[in-house]
Amino acid sequence: MPRPEPRRRIRGLWGSRSLVAVVATAALGAGAIRAPLEAQSRPRVRVIATGGTIAGQATGGQLTGGQLVEAVPELDEVAIIEVEEFSRIGSSAMTPDHWLRLSRRINELLTDDSALAGVIVTHGTDTMEETAYFLHLTVDSERPVVMVGSMRNASAVSADGPANLLSGVRVAVDPQARGRGVLVVLNDEIHSARDVRKTDNNRVDTFVSAEWGTLGIVDADRIVFRRSLATRHTTDSDLRVDASVTSLPMVPIVADFAGNDGSVLRAWATQGARAVVVQAFGGGRASPGMRRAATDVAAEGVPVVMASRVPEGRILASIGSIEDGILVAGDLPPHKARVLLMLAALQGRGAADIQRLLDTH
Ligand code: ASP
């Protein structure tokens, strides 16, 4: 009976384990391809690859999820990795339809496979926070969903993708990660999907949870958590989506600017927007033209949410008027308030209910 080829020698403890794997397989007889003995004790995770710089190459090509995993042999010591190709696009091309499909697929995986320890999504960093927050509001499981990306492509000197992927898998298999909502892991930091923002166009430490801080840290010897969220998400979310839903309502973001006459906001209302997010100035205060347009559009029954271009600090309730349909985003940035508003509009929620959701999710 031909002896199965031993796995290629991988440095570290795993090398000897693969020898155990070869012996174990031989003992079981040809054809009885079983995972290495220890493998059966290692947690199993699914890596879903969507594209982004983490998969990018200097030549312009995109690595597959399988190639991303193959490039990090240390993953073998952490978990049994299954890989699934979802898309191979830059995240600036991600759409709400992608969000829906990804959420539906993750819910399907976690529902059908109770032994799966968690899911890791490799994704571009440009719109990672929107996808992460959408999953945070719609994944119906306490098991970890961890998003990872990178600021340097896979061909770069000191590429950060491999380390971020390893960190993401280490977080996903850590029992402490359960029940904390969707996580974003880059640069050894563990962020909540709700609080994290991309703050630098070029640096590897670009993801920051400026107002509330990280949830934890990925250290060489262990995963350290120091914070949990006070807001609702995943199994406690009021915004989960039925698997039959195939599209989301149109909810634009309109940026305010000095001298704005509010015509763009009015135009969106005539284009069938189900709600609108205003990226206003500090404190959620708007130009007179935008404020007049917001009042008129809200009076026509299109909820308007006042958010701010300023990265920290809540928009106070006094800026809005629930009875007039003018709501406030609180500490959610415009692009995350939009994600929540699309889900609330899908459910046909009224102004008071939308404000409650903005204040609690
Ligand atoms: N530079 C971005 C990234 O870091 C491109 C993208 O978001 O797809 O992935």
Give the pLDDT confidence of 8-48 residue by residue, as tens digits. 333 333 344 444 433 343 443 443 344 454 556 899 999 99
Q: Which CATH number fits domain 253-360: 2.40.10.340, 3.40.50.10470, 3.30.160.340, 3.40.50.40?
A: 3.40.50.40
State the span(s) of the chain assigned CATH 3.40.50.1170: 6-236
Nearest CA to ligand 1 atom 7: 124
Q: What is the pTM of this model?
A: 0.89
* Beta carbons within 10 angstroms of residue 251's beta carbon: 25
CA distances from 157 to 61, 151, 152, 160, 259 (A): 17, 12, 8, 9, 46
Q: Helix (H, G, I), strand (E, B), or coil: what is residue 185?
A: strand
- Ligand 1 centroid vs 151 CA: distance in angstroms? 7
Residue 355 Cβ < 6 Å to ligand 1: no
Q: Which CATH number fits domain 6-236: 3.40.50.1170, 3.40.190.10, 2.40.160.40, 1.20.1070.10?
A: 3.40.50.1170
Say how far apart CA 197 and CA 207 lie, in whole Å.
6
Mean pLDDT of 255-277: 98
- Ligand 1 centroid vs 100 CA: distance in angstroms? 20
The residues annotated with a catalytic role in the active site are: 53
- Identify the CA nearest to 45 among candidates 131, 191, 146: 146
Mean pLDDT of 306-319: 96
Mean pLDDT of 120-132: 98
Mean pLDDT of 317-325: 93
- Ligand 1 centroid vs 187 CA: distance in angstroms? 15
Mean pLDDT of 51-56: 98
**3-state percent helix, strand, coil for the chain, nearest multiple of 5:** 40, 15, 45
> What local confidence, expressed as pLDDT, does residue 29 receive?
42
CB 189 within 8 A of CB 137: no
